Structures are given as structure tokens and as C-alpha cells.
Amino acid sequence: MDKVLVITGGSSGIGKATAILFASNGWKVFNLSRHTGKEQTENITHIYCDVSSEKSVKEAVQQVYQNTKYVDILIANAGYGISGPIEMTPLQEAKHQMEVNFFGAFNIIQAIIPEMRKRRQGKIIFTSSVAGLLPVPYQAIYSASKAAINALALALQNELREFNIKVSALLPGDVSTAFTDSRTKTQGTIIYTRADKAVSLL
């Protein structure tokens, strides 16, 4: 039987590299993301998904199960970053950061867990960040979203133990991807003179 991986945000950065690695080793990979990525690889099926939308996630997972009856590994990877002083961060930007990074993971695990629980097997991996343990100045909301992921993963690990479902969170540091360049920068760096330099380093 094919080994099946579902990954969110598998079109760029860590997610894309992970999807390609699994696919090259014979896994059937479903990339749930808003973009297909520039390169298409055999064994990777792209399904449109906005993880911040519960409806979009449910529809994407339904498409997964139209192609396969089970999922061996789920990697909740989708996310992005915002930066800037806490004082100057618009509330809507802070909320959207949490909607994607935290509630996006929440949405996908709620959609995938029932099948894993029935089979009494599976693995769930969250892409967190070392910033979830050591909050980074001028990236407070991003750090908070990853701290929330860490707490979610630890609690979920205990909840799913009786169903033989393994749960873990990866906490990478800086990785050479376009993530930093894609970060949304909030205003306030004229007042907070250290902000631009601090963010450019991480």
C-alpha cells in the first residue's frame, strides 16, 4: 500500500522541500496550499486550500479522501510571519497571523484526526519555531503563534496517545528560504530605531 502524506503549505520553503523529499522516496503526497509552486513533481498532488478557512480545509480534505482512504502522516506546516513593534501592530494583522499559523493548524488536525483515530495509527507533525520558545523582539505575534502551536502539540500528544497517534513539533531556527523576504512588516520603525536591523538579522 502507498504511504500517504498530507502537508499544508507545501509549495515553498520548508514545506516544498519536505513534499519533494517524501515524493522522491515513493510517498503519495498531497500539498494543501493556495499556490501550486513553480515546479510540479511526480507523486505530489496539489489541492487548493486556505488553512485559515474551516470550509476550505474541509473541502480540501474531502478531495484527499476521494483519492485515498487513509493518511499516514499529516504535517501542519502552512504559515507566514509579520514583524514590527507590538505597539504599532494593527490588530487585524495580529489576528490574521494567528488565523493562519495557529488556527490553520487547528483546522487541519480537526479534519484529519477522525480517520487516524478510527485506524488507530498515524503521525501529526507541526512546523513550529525556536521563536516559540525564545520569543523574538519585533516578531512578537509570530512568536506567540508558534508558542501556541507548541502548547497545542503537547496537549494533543497526550490526548491521542490512547489511539496510537504520534504527535510532535519541529522547532527550526533560521532556514535559507524566502520566508524572511515574504514577511509582512508593520510600521513604527522610525520610532523603534532598532526594529529594522533586528528583523533583518532573523
Among 28, 33, 83, 146, the active-site one is 146
Cα–Cα distance measured from residue 127 to residue 191, given in angstroms and rounded to the nearest whole number: 33
Please confirm, yes or no, whether 142 is among the known catalytic residues: yes
Among 33, 83, 128, 143, the active-site one is 128
Please confirm, yes or no, whether 11 is among the known catalytic residues: yes
C-alpha cell, 202: 532573523
The three-class DSSP label of residue 61 is: helix
Which segments within the chain are labelled E, that is strand?
4-8, 28-33, 44-48, 73-76, 82-83, 122-127, 165-170, 184-185
Please confirm, yes or no, whether 83 is among the known catalytic residues: no
Place of cell 515553498: 12
Among 129, 142, 143, 145, the active-site one is 142
Please confirm, yes or no, whether 128 is among the known catalytic residues: yes
Angle in degrees, CA 102, 74, 31, rounded to 5: 90
Length of the chain: 202
Q: State the catalytic residues.
A: 11, 128, 142, 146
